[in-house]
Structure 1
Amino acid sequence: MSREQYRTVKEVADLLQVNEVTVRRWIKDGELRAIDIGKGWRIGPDDLDAFLEGHATRPAARPNGETNTSPEATAAQSTKEQKN
């Protein structure tokens, strides 16, 4: 993997529209794999892809075709089922 493919903390922060402190916290907490090169952290494309994949939301498949799994929707559905 060439060095140009690695992103800096600032580049990742800009890409994800978050603060650099947030990216550094993800690295410190072990959520985002990074390499300390001396001039700062570098994040490889595979590591960034894995991080994004791990944090992606996926609606749960429901038998009635509904995809909203928010707590409010779940509570409303439970109330609706109890009344029936």
Structure 2
Amino acid sequence: MSDQPGRQRYLTVVEVAEIMRVSKMTVYRLLHSGEMPGVRVGRSFRVPEDALEHYLATSIQPVVVDTAADEAGRRTS
């Protein structure tokens, strides 16, 4: 978090990619599509830390595993 109250911390694309454990290209795609807000600084982007936290909190989707399809796949292999 930020050291000074009321001060927004901005992350680089590399920092966001490391936090999310994805490639830089994935972060750029999210920024260009508007799915993740960012600020353009010259030719590079910065992502507000709270915007990343909000994106991660609202992007969580449950993973559904179809065990019947999994069992059928194991029998045929």
| TM-score computed with the length of structure 2 as normaliser | 0.68
Q: How many residues align?
A: 64
Which structure is larger by alpha-carbon Rg, 1 or 2? 1
1:12-40 deviation digits (Å, cap 9, x = unpaired): 00111110000000001111000001151
Equivalent of residue 29 in structure 1, options 14, 27, 33? 33
Q: Indicate whether 1:70 and 2:64 are aligned.
A: yes
RMSD: 2.2
Larger fraction in strand: 2
| TM-score computed with the length of structure 1 as normaliser | 0.63
**Percentage of pairs with the same residue:** 29
Structure 1 SS opposite 2:46: strand
Stretches of structure 1 lacking an aligned partner (at least 5 in a row): 59-68, 76-84
Structure 1 stretches of at least 4 aligned residues deviating more than 3 Å after TM superposition: none
Stretches of structure 2 lacking an aligned partner (at least 5 in a row): 1-5, 69-77
